[in-house]
């Protein structure tokens, strides 16, 4: 499986275009049920708005959906979806709420406004890369413990629990590309006496 892009966190944005107020929300979701729940949540919050347009893209379910929610066809949900397609995003749900300000924006104006709403909200959320990480374990003498913790940090790893007996077993998780470098450093630091073993894998965002 290749690395993929998702929202780093939930994001929100707001701007006014010719007295119409646009409020955008972006969420990280993994299922269609989650996406529908987020859309319902925003609709409930802004129940008095003229439009709550939305889109979502789901990786595992291979689904893309959108809604113009009463705006002219092709002026809201689809241009919002295109923002995330261009960025190669997945597991993302976006809702853009519009409070009508009394001035018609026209099809071109609506398309630009909803595109901006999606882009501004994605910028607020940020983009994270989900990639393969590997858990490792290395058993070392206590004299090397502090140095190994520094090496975990230097290789972008996350220190896990440690087992303390007459030696220390250090558990740490790394991006896949860092594991061989870390393992080589463990062998070097211990004079060939200690080996970092691969235990398990996980897909993590960063």
Domains in the chain, start-ordered, CATH in brackets? 4-125 (3.30.230.30), 131-205 (3.30.70.240)
DSSP 71: S
3-state secondary structure string across 3-40? CEEEECCCEEEEEEECCEEEEEEEEECCCHHHHHHHHH
pLDDT tens-digit map of 64-116: 999 999 999 999 999 999 999 999 999 999 999 999 988 889 999 999 999 99
Contact 134, 196 (CB under 8 A): no
Partner residues linked to 202 by β-bridges = 133
Q: Taking all residues of the chain, what is their mean pLDDT, rounded to a whole number?
A: 95
What's the whole-model pTM score? 0.81
pLDDT band at 206 (very low <50, low <70, confident <90, very high): confident
pLDDT for residue 128: 97
């Amino acid at each position: 499986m290749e690395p993929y892009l998702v929202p780093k966190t939930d994001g929100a944005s707001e701007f006014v275009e010719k007295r119409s107020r646009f409020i955008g929300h972006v969420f990280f979701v993994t299922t269609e049920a989650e996406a529908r729940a987020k859309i319902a949540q925003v609709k409930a919050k802004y129940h008095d708005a003229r439009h709550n347009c939305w889109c979502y893209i789901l990786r595992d379910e291979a689904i893309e959906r959108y809604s113009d929610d009463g705006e002219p066809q092709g002026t809201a949900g689809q241009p919002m979806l295109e923002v995330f397609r261009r960025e190669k995003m997945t597991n993302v749900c976006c809702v853009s709420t519009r409070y009508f300000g009394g001035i018609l924006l026209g099809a071109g104006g609506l398309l630009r406004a909803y595109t901006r709403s999606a882009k501004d909200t994605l910028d607020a959320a940020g983009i994270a890369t989900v990639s393969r990480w590997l858990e490792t374990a290395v058993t070392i003498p206590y004299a090397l413990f502090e140095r190994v913790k520094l090496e975990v940090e230097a290789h972008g790893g996350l220190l896990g629990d440690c087992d303390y007996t007459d030696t220390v077993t250090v558990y740490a998780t790394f991006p896949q590309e860092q594991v061989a470098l870390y393992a080589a450093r463990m062998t070097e630091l211990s004079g060939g006496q200690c080996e970092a073993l691969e235990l398990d894998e996980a897909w993590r965002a960063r």
